[in-house]
Amino acid sequence: MTNPGVVLAGVEIRHVARCGSTNSVLLALAPAAPVLLIADEQTAGRGRRGRRWLGAPGAALSFSLARRLRRPLRELAALSLVAGVAAARALRALGVPAELKWPNDLIAGGGKLGGILVETRAAGRETLAVVGIGINLCGANALSRRLRRPIASLDQFVDSSDGDLVLRKIAVALMSAIDAFEAEGFEAAKKEWEAMHAYAGRRVKVRLANGRSVTGIAAGLDVDGALSLRTRGGIRSIRSGTVRAA
C-alpha cells in the first residue's frame, strides 16, 4: 500500500495500517533500491537495546528507511547520529526546539520526543542500512505518567495534525544527510550534531553495558561518533551506554 501524502524522489513509499516493526519488515525485504515504510501502528516497535517503543495508533509517527551503502562497516555506528541530525534539522525548520541526546534520542523541552534505531545487514559489497524513527505526535502527559520520566510530543510545540508534512520533511532531510555521509563519512554531520547536543558542556552520568557508571563533562564526539567524556582521569571515549544529567 502506498501513502499518497508522502512523495520522495528516488524512494519507494509503502504505507501499512499495522505491522510488528517497520525495521524488521524492511530487513526481511532487503530492497535493492531505497524504500520508506510507514506504519500507522507497530505492535512490536523496538528501541535501542531491545527496548519497546510505545506509541498508540495516531499518537506517533513510525517509519523506517531502507537504503544500501558502500561506506566501510566500521563507520556505520555513526549512522544513528547522522539520522539524528537530519531529524532535528527538519523539526527545527518546523518550529520544534529539537535537540539531540547521545546516541539516538530526540529531545524537546527537556522531554524525549523520539528515538532512532539503525540496523544493518551485509548485502554483497554493500551494507543494507535500515533507519527507524519514532516521534510522538501527542499524548506526552499520559506517557510521562506511565513511564515516570519526561516525555515530549509535537503538539506541545506546533500543530501536529499534518503528520505527512512532518514525515516528508524528515525523510527529505534524512536522504540528504545519508547522501553526505556516503560521500564524506561522519565528518559531514559531526559539528552539527555537537551544536544540537542537549547536554553539551554539562556534567552527565553514563551507565555502561556492564552495569558500571562513569561521570564527567560531555565534551563533543570522537571522529567515529563515540561520546567524549572529560573525567578526572582525562578524556574517555564512550561507545555504548545510557546518558543522563548528573
Asked if domains 12-195 and 203-245 share a fold, the reply is no
Burial (CB count <10 Å: 0-12, 13-18, 19+), residue 221: buried
Tell me what pLDDT residue 1 has.
Answer: 47
d(CA 153, CA 135): 7
pTM: 0.92
Burial (CB count <10 Å: 0-12, 13-18, 19+), residue 224: middle
Tell me what pLDDT residue 54 has.
Answer: 55
DSSP 117-143: EEEEEEETTEEEEEEEEEEE-S-HHHH
pLDDT digits (tens, 9 = 90+) for 5-19: 678 889 999 999 999
List of residues 6+ apart from 9 with CB closer than 8 A: none
Q: Which amino acid is at 22?
A: T
Q: How many Å separate Cα 180 from the centre of its chain?
A: 17
d(CA 96, CA 38): 22
- Name residue 135's beta-bridge partners: 61, 114
Tell me what pLDDT residue 11 has.
Answer: 95
Tell me what pLDDT residue 146 has.
Answer: 87
Tell me what pLDDT residue 215 has.
Answer: 97
Tell me what pLDDT residue 7 has.
Answer: 80
How many other CB atoms are there within 10 angstroms of residue 27's CB atom? 18
Q: Chunked in runs of 10, what are the mean pLDDT values of the chain (246 residues)?
A: 69 93 96 96 70 69 96 93 98 98 96 96 95 94 88 94 92 96 95 97 94 96 96 95 92
- The domains of the chain are located at 12-195, 203-245
CATH topology of domain 12-195: BirA Bifunctional Protein; domain 2 (3.30.930)
Average pLDDT in the chain:
92
Contact between 88 and 102 (Cβ < 8 Å): no
Which residues in 69-82 are b (16+ Cβ under 10 Å) and which e?
bebeeebbbbbbbb
For strand 242-245 and strand 213-221, is the pairing parallel, antiparallel, or unpaired?
A: unpaired
CATH classification code of 203-245: 2.30.30.100
Tell me what pLDDT residue 113 has.
Answer: 97
Tell me what pLDDT residue 230 has.
Answer: 97
